[in-house]
Structure 1
Amino acid sequence: MVGSRQRPDGRPETVGRVRVALGLASAAVAVTLCVVLVDKYVLRAEWWQVRHTVTGAPVTPQSEMGPPPGPLAVSWEHTTQTHHGSVAGYDGVAYQVAQGQVVTASGRGIEVRDARTGKGRWSYRRSGWTLLGWTSTRSRLAAYFERDGDRADRVLVAFDALSGGLLWRREGELPAAVSRTTLRWPAGSDVLLTTDDKRRTLYGVSAVTGNRIWRLALPRGCRLFESGAHPSDGREALAALGLDCRQEGRHRSRLLAVDPAKGVVRWDRRLGSRESPEVSMLDGVTLASDGTALRAFDGDGRQFGVWNGDGVCGDLMCPGVLARDRLVVVYHPDGADSGDTRMEAVNVPSGRVEWRRDVPAYAALAQAGGKVFALRPRLSERLLPAGVDIVEPADGHTTTAPAPFSMDPDLSGVRPWLAAAGGLLYAAVPQAAPRPDGAARLVVLRGGLTGTGPAELGGVPEAAWPDACALLTKPDLAAARMTDYVAEPSGASAGSVSLPRPVSCTYEPPRKKPRKKDPHEKRESPGPEPSTTGSVAPGPSESPSKSSSKSSSKSPSKSPSESPSKGSEEDGEPDLTVRGLTVSVRWVAESDPEASRMLDALQATQAQARRRHDIGADEAYEIGPTAGMIALRVGRYVVVVEASRPPGAAARLARSVAYRLHNPS
């Protein structure tokens, strides 16, 4: 008889081992379950990651009408900071005006405001996630988020566009052809366009339920571009997407037009290069720029316009709008100077060019009420504000008004954007502040009060502009050791109005007059004279000029043509000669608050700007890495003083300018 070993309490030892094993297994299961539950209900829980606000307030739709010609005033404005997420290139800010609302999309999330008042309506953000795409169709809006540091963890969220209420949330879905510039991807007819990881298939996802309703395989050898500045665009009835197609061993881009409601191809066109095209879709017209040409297609895919040239659109998509069956487009003519810009109106049914003219480098276009609104970065080369041109699409006739803000289109963060609705004009421009990441500033403009002066100057009479050369008097120049400096004035014009006085004054050192020869001075012999002091005539390898320079360098006397600054540097003394001095009247506003807003807009576009309280002006900023530029405001005058050297010269002279503006003679 064989028996098992007994414990002191009488229990078999094998039973204890089983219980220990079961206990360890139970503990492992419990730990695993806790990890899963914590990951699902804590780490990935919506209740702490999501910040979601909704609204029940009604909104009033807007008419398709912009402001009337004339001065413009700020109705409201809002700044959105740039968000740098884990995915490079998707750090822009984009806008849309629709259904009486302004939608702002950035890496931080979605923010929706009342288009008339700017009051917030609803918003959605996810902590630890970055918004990399958004789209809208009818009364639905969808946003695509990826978890920071884990691109495989993604989610698509749909909302009611008016209230912000959550409709559905779907994980793993990938939007089709998101634009890095606008963060938009195509949607229409309550259908969102998505794709698979290989980007070779299109799916139609219902914006109402989140379910897939159709599937479309892309042409053989073609796939969606993985990224692009603007590789796709869409309207309710049609979506256009750029394709990267490999055929006969070569890559070529194509443009595919799809019906979002049915998932069928409407038309397919080959383009001219292997680059990702820039695609822009208007009401019934599709524009595509691929680095070789800008092409225009009608609703059936018929090409009715083409503008050839590798720089026809520059670095961005050519601005274009559709007004009264006319495509109005801005482009750079092929073969012209790089800065030349032309606006052209093309009749869509016939393809005939109705008019064309040279224009400023418009940064954005919009149309409403049969008018075309064009945003120009500068009202004039020497003036501070941006400008808005109102263009008649029938003949190109233009009226100009200053925009009450300053802009630098080369700043990153937002592509300059323009829209018109409800008698308002919406303009978005990049700015460098808050530093270092910058932001996008949305400025909403309405028609301003008509002043006694021309609309091109914001209603300010031409006589109110001071003479830039009179802001520094002779005592001011003498105190800066500039007694003999020569003033070179420069004028400016805005639209058809020319200012009667100089708006800029540059001070140049006096030109040295040649020394008059003394008639009694003994004329030197042209040739070398024999000498017994050991002087040597120039040899064959030494030119007479070098010999003379050597002999003159031994002389303690200075040449009459030698500059005083050079002599003082050689003597070890600091150079106090002012160089590069320019005084510019950049703007005269209708009121002090408007001038203050203009100065604030100027400093907000600068990478480095510091407030100065010792200039004696109402407001002043030191701009740039050195103290070589001072921008100041006295009353309604905005003036910039520049001096490249010596350090501190610009600030000293700016104090004199501020005093002169406070105490006009």
Structure 2
Amino acid sequence: MGRVRVALGLVSAAVAVALCVVLVDRCVLRAEWWQVRHTVTGEPVRPQSEVGPPPGPLAVSWERTTRTHHGAVAGYDGVAYEVAQGQVVTASGRGLEVRDARTGGDRWSYRRSGWTLLGWTSTRSRLVAHFERDGDRGARAMVAFDALSGGLLWRREGERPAAVSRTTLRWPAGSDVLLTTDEPHRTLFGVSAVTGNRVWRLALPHGCRLFEGGAHPSDGRETLAAFGLDCREEGRRRSRLLAVDPAKGTVRWDERLGSGESPEVSMLDGVTLASDGTALRAFREDGGRFGVWKGDGVCGDLMCPGVLTPGRLVIVYHPEGSRSDATRMEAVDVSSGRVEWGRDVPAYAALAQAGGQIFALRPRLSESLLPAGVDIVAPGDGGTTTAPAPFPMDPDLPGVRPWLAAAGGLLYVAVAQAAPRPDGAARLVVLRGGLTGTGPPELGGVPVADWPDACALLTKPDLAAARMTGYAAEPSRASAGSVGLPHPVSCTYEPHRKGRASGDGDGRRPAPKPMASESAGAEPPGSTEEDADPPVRGLTLSVRWVAETHEAASRMLDALQATQAQARRRRDIGGDEAYEIGPTAGMIALRVGRYVLVVEANRPPGAAARIARAVAYRLRHPA
């Protein structure tokens, strides 16, 4: 009996331990009360009118940054935005953050500690997020909210969203139904956004499965969802585009594409776009194709920017057979496929439309000036007005695809930035119409007479102090839109070449790039290894921007350093603010009053800082 009692005691202890483990796992480790940070709101919000800011200067209404979140799943570390129902939704790996679209004030948010948001979608007044537990991809949770209050509607485990975009983290939903898939990605399910229950099932065509992990393999709106399919037909891999009615789960149309690559899919109101590496194709609501732009680089690495105005698709693409940086905008009649107008344009990073106008984000206002630019395009004939954006941008930075939206008289712009380093962040800037100055709108209202001559910022005594008496100045001019600046905005100092007249300053050089991408240590034209090393090499002084106020110039310089992978504050230059940019001390960006300047000197170390001090002094103490 004693042995029996011992055995029973051991069994009871084992059961108790197992029960404790289960209870701890369910009630503590997996419990909502400590994992979830969820705020809600009862404040009403007013919908916004469909109109953007008027033509002219732009000013910052409000802005926010969202840090990049590197979760356990590679490739899903971006940040995405949506403006709807008077709110701005920010989705990142950290969770959801919803703000008032007018003021930027907090409305509601949702985060789960130890989990990463890998997808989100919205339909009507519901918003749904998909989370996976860090380190355990089998642990999945889908959570639905009331889009306006943030109130929890339901939570389900095990559901897998269908074809999530790495670029936007979105997956399709519409008509209060969100689309999910199974483990092999060969079946679509419709899940009610109201209850979380499945309402229909659709098997994909034989030999086909959903593309997963693509940059943008699917897209949707309330009445239609489109998916790229990876199909095997007669031993050959070929992609297809499948359009589904989200309310009923029926196939609306099915089109074969031209390659086996995952297509980029984008849906506008009544038009579906697909780019698969061979061509960009445009389809009507019924699946009829009305536009084809051929070329393996027609859209570059991302989907071509496009918007839909009444009866007209406006698209930006790279023409086949043209130079690599050539970009064209065309307006195509949806019913006939006829091109109504077309023109060469800058490499627009994003488009938006509202109030009968098209807003286009250009990475640079001018090659030699600092700000990004916003063009307002008339959809009828392509006529354009230009204004500077109050920030610079680098479209090649990871973290967020450049994004644009317009509503309520405001323009919403999202760009990537390198700060806070090393992971970076996405920056959302909300712009309104600014005050009209006495100068042209293309310069933010600043008169052209306020722009200094870059070649006059270093005087003869300054050059002599830097042992640069044997140098010639090579000026470079710039324009913003249709406005040409009267003085050089950049001045490069080169040693005199043999046989060149002293003081020859009429040489022209290509405009310098606005980022710290010039190669350090490059030999200046006309120098050879046999020449004696001059005191300073590769010196360029650039006036990158003249702002309307000191505060605006300070914001511009801060935004510049935030786009740089390496930037260090310098407090010994003598201007109002200064940063050392790049891996060496060869580039100094500084602000003196309303002026933002950049000094670059390849050699010797410290030369850029010495020249920057002289420039700051001359601007503070003009002759």
Q: Return the TM-score normalized by structure 2.
A: 0.95
Q: Which residue of 1 aligns with 2:5?
A: 19
Residues 434-479 of structure 1: CA distance to partner in whole angstroms, max 9, x if unpaired?
0000000000000000000000000000000000001100111111
Equivalent residue, structure 1, for 2:354: 368
1:263 aligns with 2:249: yes
Query: Do the aligned partners of residues 149 and 563 (structure 1) sit closer, same or farther apart at CA in structure 2, a change above 3 Å counting?
Result: closer
**Matching residue within 371, 381, 395 for 1:385:** 371
- Mapped partners of 1:513, 1:244: distance in 2: 66
Measure how far apart 1:512 and its partner are.
Answer: 1.9
After superposition, the Cα gap between the structure-2 partners of 1:659 and 1:349, relative to the gap in structure 1 and judged at 3 Å, is: same
Q: Which residue of 1 aligns with 2:616?
A: 658
SS of the residue 2:590 aligns to: strand
- Of 551, 556, 564, the residue aligned with 1:598 is 556
Q: Tell me how far 1:564 sits from its aligned partner.
A: 9.9
1:565 touches 1:577 (CA, 8 Å); kept in 2? no
SS in 1 for 2:144: strand
The CA distance in 2 between the partners of 1:426 and 1:230, in whole Å, is: 21
Deviation per CA, 1:235-259, whole angstroms, max 9, x where unpaired?
0000000000001001100000000
1:664 Cα shift? 1.6
Structure 2 equivalent of residue 139 of structure 1: 125
Deviation at residue 226 of structure 1 after TM alignment: 1.9
Does residue 68 of the first structure (1) align with residue 54 of the second (2)? Answer: yes
| 3-state secondary structure, aligned to 1:79 | strand
**1: distance between equivalents of 2:530 and 2:255?**
67
Alignment-derived partner of residue 23 in structure 2 = 37
Q: Which residues of 2 match residues 166-315 of structure 1 at below 5 A?
A: 166-315=152-301
Q: Provide the secondary structure at the position in 2 that maps to 1:415.
A: coil
Q: Which residue of 1 aligns with 2:584?
A: 626
Compute the displacement of 1:513 (Å): 3.1
Work out the CA distance in 2 between the residues paired with 1:40 and 1:212. Answer: 26
How far apart, in 2, do the equivalents of 1:289 and 1:509 lie?
Answer: 50
Alpha-carbon distance, 1:566 to partner: 4.7
| Superposed CA offset, 1:31-55 (max 9, x none) | 1100000000001111111111111
Determine helix, strand or coil for the equivalent of 1:36: helix
Residue number in structure 2 paired with 1:102: 88
Deviations 1:9-49 (A, max 9, x none): xxxxxx22221111111111111100000000001111111
- For residue 498 of structure 2, what is the aligned residue in structure 1? 512
Please report how far the alpha carbon of residue 433 of structure 1 lies from its aligned counterpart in structure 2 after TM superposition: 0.3
1:309 CA displacement: 0.2
Q: CA deviation at 1:352?
A: 0.4
SS at match of 2:553: helix
Q: TM-score, normalised by structure 1?
A: 0.89
Matched, 1:342 2:295: no
Task: Find the counterpart in structure 1 of residue 512 from structure 2.
Answer: none
Q: Which residue of 1 aligns with 2:441?
A: 455
Which residue does the alignment assign to 1:430?
Answer: 416
RMSD value over aligned CA atoms? 1.2
Preserved CA contact (<8 Å) 1:71 1:458: yes
Q: 1:563 to 1:420 in 2, by over 3 A?
A: closer
Q: Percent identity?
A: 84
Measured in 2, the distance between the counterparts of 1:482 and 1:86 equals 55
The equivalent position to 2:380 in structure 1, one of 394, 417, 435, is 394
Which residue does 2:510 correspond to in 1? none
The SS at the match of 2:335 is: coil
Deviation >3 Å, runs of 4+: 562-568
Greater Rg over alpha carbons, structure: 1
Q: CA separation in 2, counterparts of 1:74 and 1:380? A: 20
Tell me the equivalent position of 2:543. Answer: 585
1:130 to 111, 116, 134: 116
The one-letter code sitting in structure 2 at the alignment partner of 1:652 is: R
Q: Secondary structure at the match of 2:400?
A: coil
For structure 1, the residue ranges without an aligned partner over 5 or more in a row are: 1-14, 515-561, 569-574
2 CA distance for matches of 1:196 and 1:39?
A: 27
Structure-1 residue corresponding to 2:461: 475
For 1:418 and 1:454, the matched residues in 2 are separated by 24
Q: d(CA) in 1 for partners of 2:310 and 2:185?
A: 37
- Residue 662 of structure 1: how far off its partner (Å): 0.6
In structure 2, stretches of 5+ residues that fail to align are 501-525
Structure 1 residue 59: deviation in Å?
Answer: 0.6
AA of the residue aligned to 1:627: A
Distance 1:661 1:446 in 2: 31
CA distance in 2, matches of 1:109, 1:303: 38
Describe the shift of the 1:564–1:217 C-alpha distance in structure 2 as closer, same or farther (beyond 3 A): closer
How much does 1:563 deviate? 7.1
Deviation at 1:56, TM superposition (A): 0.6
* Letter aligned with residue 360 of structure 2: A
Distance 1:626 1:77 in 2: 31
Deviation string 1:142-198 (CA, Å, 9 cap, x unpaired) is 000001111001110000000001100000100000000000000000000000000
Larger deviation, residues 18-27 vs 613-622: 18-27
In the TM superposition, what is the alpha-carbon distance from 1:577 to its structure 2 partner?
2.0
Match of 2:595 among 633, 637, 640: 637
Q: 1:647 to 1:264 in 2, by over 3 A?
A: same
For this pair of structures, how many residues does the alignment match?
599
